[in-house]
Structure 1
Amino acid sequence: MNHHVEDTLRRTLESAAEKAPELPGTLAGELDIRYRRRRQRSQALLAAAGVVVVTVGVAVGLRPGDDGTTPPAAHSSSTPSASAITAEPVEKVWPQAVWKVPAKAPDGRELRPIGLIDDRTLLMEGWREFGRTEALYVYTKAGGRPRKIVDVPTPKGTTRYPSDFSLDGGQVAWWTATKHAVRIWAAPPDDGPARTVAVHKIKDADASGVDGFGATGGEAAFSLSTGGVFTVPLTGGPVTAVPRGAGLHLLSWPWAGTPDRSDPMAGPPFTRLVNLETGQSSTAVSHQGERVYACGVRSCMGTTADGKGFTRGRDGSRQKEIPVGYLIPEPPVQSRFYVRNLADNGGGLGLYDVTRGKLADTGIRDEVATRGEIPVPDRTGRLMTYRLGNTYYVIDLSKIP
């Protein structure tokens, strides 16, 4: 499997983001951040007529029923199919929002966007061997060459390489793991070097390391693969177990819940959530005959009993029908944007704006998507990024009215 495929699987089918939750909480809880590394999770594509689950390789454009299921009966809909929506190139639909960024550093390392340091400065990670990030870079909107700002260490005995880079004000944080410990790191994005924040011992059952991570409010918060949420100051100090977080998996601080994404048979991920600061709980509404596929802090997506695709609030309000076709099984970013086929019969991938009913052509065609290149959000849900050749397309969703 080449690095494009693995990179996309690591970033896309194992992670996503949705921001601005409407459930009350502190400022730290005002983002629905879903950027998670789960290397072993099965890949899945959602069709409005049913789910196609692929355990080996990548599938794009599979037809309803390809998984052996019987598609539901055809139905009339007031929502147009993809074939009825004109899709212009994304840079023409949202010219104010699209950057084009080099996918390689001057030193030859492969690059991938992480997030915005400010409105004009993009943080990127770089590597020579896939999966082993070696350095962080910055790239400015004005152009020029990506500039290395800090080396990313990999200690001897590392089994999980630098993962889940998260920006928090003047800090960028991430984690690595050995067989017996998780190590939390931090560095200022403008003046290194990287430093160890904490080392947290883990049991053999947690050998896969961290399954939820984020930096906010001067702390790193993380959960382990077997459950349990912990925090540690980015300035260093003891790792503290969050009392309400026992057995839970971090979605976006302060929200954690179950099930996580590691077991597709356990049900839609994060249908049950708890605010770790207030104790408030939320269980996503589901009606008889529906299939709910994924939930974030704010919204869920799925299909109705008669096969119509929908997105709605966790409490069942604000339900919107969405065009039939193939989707990544994640809630729309910001409860607004999601990835789908350009047409009912394939034709490539587009980014669809639920609010405006607008479909933008990403330039990704079926043969490229089949190799695994799919647009993905950053940790904050502000950016959508994808690679075409030696260029990354970076879409700043905050610039779309």
Structure 2
Amino acid sequence: MDGRSEAELVRVLAGAAEVAPGPGPDLLGAVLRRRERRRRRRARSALAAAGMVAVIGGGTAAVEVFSHRGGEGPVLGDVPVTASPEGTESPTREAEPFPGTPRPEVRPAAEVWPEAVSVIPAKAADGWRYRPVTALSATELLLTAESSFEKAGRLEVYDTAAGRSTVLAEMPGPAGVRGYYVQEVEPGAEYVAWSGETPNNRDRWADFWVAPRSGGTARRVGEVTGDLAEVERIGVTADAVVWSVKSGGVHRLPLAGGAPERIEGTDGLHLLSWPWAVDAETGAEPGGGDRNQTRTVNLETGEVIEAPRPEGARGLRCGPVWCFGRLGEGSFVQRTDGSDHQVLQGIGDPGWPFLGDRFGFFRVPVNPGEAEYVPVAAVHDPVTGAFAGISAMSRDRAGGFGTGTSSSPPSIVYWDEGSESVRTCRTDRPEGPAGASAHPEAGVSCSTTQKGGGKTLTVLNLLAVPKTE
């Protein structure tokens, strides 16, 4: 893609799918046709080269950015919306799930967990943009450096204590393959692994690479085609790359070479984070549907944890220890044995059910005229009950954030505090004949643009949050 397209994407802050109206059928059809090979696209990397997700006030947006990989640039569409007439108060982003119930106290993450928040440069010294992947420790962040939008070419580790970055490995593409893009990246105990595809063509093909976690030369493990190339999530062990596919099932490819193998007993299972797999999809927007997960399986030991399901629960998603889901008009959290069940009143639905090993991620309802701190989203620690605010809504009730792009639930959330989201509205439909009355909101569309920023990213590292149990 050219530089102009990337710059346009950096400036555009779009409504996230859960809070904005969808595009028209013609645009949606075009997007789906163009992205047949990217059904795994994740909302957590929808904005700009920084990989941020945008949400806007009022549940309205005039421009939608559909997250993708493959570097063809954004797919944008003007979306007619319902907006308050100019000069009136903007509508809320989301009505209170429990009317009359006070919202939990949400303070900025830097106040809740000051030791876990740091500021890093948004670009490497050579100008390549950083895309945060996940945390490796309480002070180490795994990043990819991109020469152009989503064109990862290097792995780096940023030390937040020392304030410097170290190159871990170059990320070359396979010789003779055009249109190649890195997709899933995942650290293991000994290696960092990634998969790659050619998402802009119709090939059903993927390959796998590993590099020593301590740093060194990357090597290509092998490639797969057909159904095996529908890579959903990956993991890496001491002797193999493992991955699940969209239709279910977990496979392994030995690092020493050889043919791919299906792991016995994994029919219908999807990787969460090796060695754990679940019987619900963990791809594009886990938790976004109503289907409930029923079990979590340890693929190394064979242990099976049945998912406890409260009556009426929807979208239940569980890890090895904690579960999140929706109940009635609100959300809930509990341990996998059903204990410590808590209804999270005054908070929105889970957006991304898991971060790290135990954290939930939630939208925060906004009330008209609210003057106190209004975060774009909130991270919830079920152990302490704390809610930490991510970024801050602008005066136009807009804002952005990003979660790490690791294949497993990421351990970081990040945002650009130097940027400002500005929302503007226009009337697209001409006025009717003199004397005719028209609805004041008819034909109004709005767009949210990003101004400033691009120099630093504020990062919440969940591996640096103290454990209290």
TM-score > 0.5, shorter chain as reference: yes
Hey, what's the Cα distance between the residues in 1 that align with 2:132 and 2:209?
19
**Distance 1:120-1:265 versus aligned 2 partners, 3 A rule:** closer
Residue 351 of structure 1 corresponds to: 379
Residue 130 of structure 1 corresponds to: 149
3-state DSSP of counterpart to 2:412:
strand
3-state DSSP of counterpart to 2:114:
coil
Hey, what's the Cα distance between the residues in 2 that align with 1:106 and 1:168?
27
Q: Which runs of 5+ in 2 are unaligned?
A: 1-7, 17-37, 47-52, 54-58, 67-80, 82-90, 417-452
Hey, what's the Cα distance between the residues in 1 that align with 2:178 and 2:14?
19
Residue 197 of structure 1 corresponds to: 221
Please report the TM-score for the alignment, with normalisation by the length of structure 1: 0.72
Q: Is contact 2:279-2:294 (8 Å) kept?
A: yes
Q: Which runs of 5+ in 1 are unaligned?
A: 10-35, 46-50, 65-70
Is structure 2 residue 297 aligned with structure 1 residue 274? yes
Deviation of 1:187 after TM superposition, in Å, equals 1.2
3-state DSSP of counterpart to 1:92:
helix
Alignment of 1:359-398 (within 5 A): 359-365=387-393, 370=398, 372-376=400-404, 383-388=411-416, 389=453, 390-398=455-463
Residue 285 of structure 1 corresponds to: 308
Please report the TM-score for the alignment, with normalisation by the length of structure 2: 0.62
Is structure 2 residue 126 aligned with structure 1 residue 107? yes
Residue 62 of structure 1 corresponds to: 93
Residue 216 of structure 1 corresponds to: 237
**Distance 1:86-1:324 versus aligned 2 partners, 3 A rule:** closer
Hey, what's the Cα distance between the residues in 2 that align with 1:142 and 1:127?
24
Match of 1:174 among 186, 194, 216: 194
Q: Deviations over 1:23-70 (max 9, x none)?
A: xxxxxxxxxxxxx9921779999xxxxx99xx9558996324xxxxxx
3-state DSSP of counterpart to 2:364:
strand
Q: Which amino acid in structure 2 is aligned with residue 198 of structure 1?
A: G
Deviation of 1:161 after TM superposition, in Å, equals 1.8
Hey, what's the Cα distance between the residues in 1 that align with 2:149 and 2:244?
24
Deviation of 1:116 after TM superposition, in Å, equals 4.1
Is structure 2 residue 274 aligned with structure 1 residue 253? yes
Hey, what's the Cα distance between the residues in 1 that align with 2:161 and 2:45?
37
**Distance 1:293-1:117 versus aligned 2 partners, 3 A rule:** closer
Match of 1:310 among 308, 329, 332: 332
**Distance 1:288-1:172 versus aligned 2 partners, 3 A rule:** closer
Deviation of 1:222 after TM superposition, in Å, equals 0.3
Deviation of 1:310 after TM superposition, in Å, equals 1.1
Q: Deviations over 1:332-373 (max 9, x none)?
A: 543345344275568333333333333333333257985642
3-state DSSP of counterpart to 1:329:
strand
Match of 1:232 among 248, 253, 261: 253
3-state DSSP of counterpart to 1:386:
strand
Residue 446 of structure 2 corresponds to: none
Deviation of 1:213 after TM superposition, in Å, equals 0.8
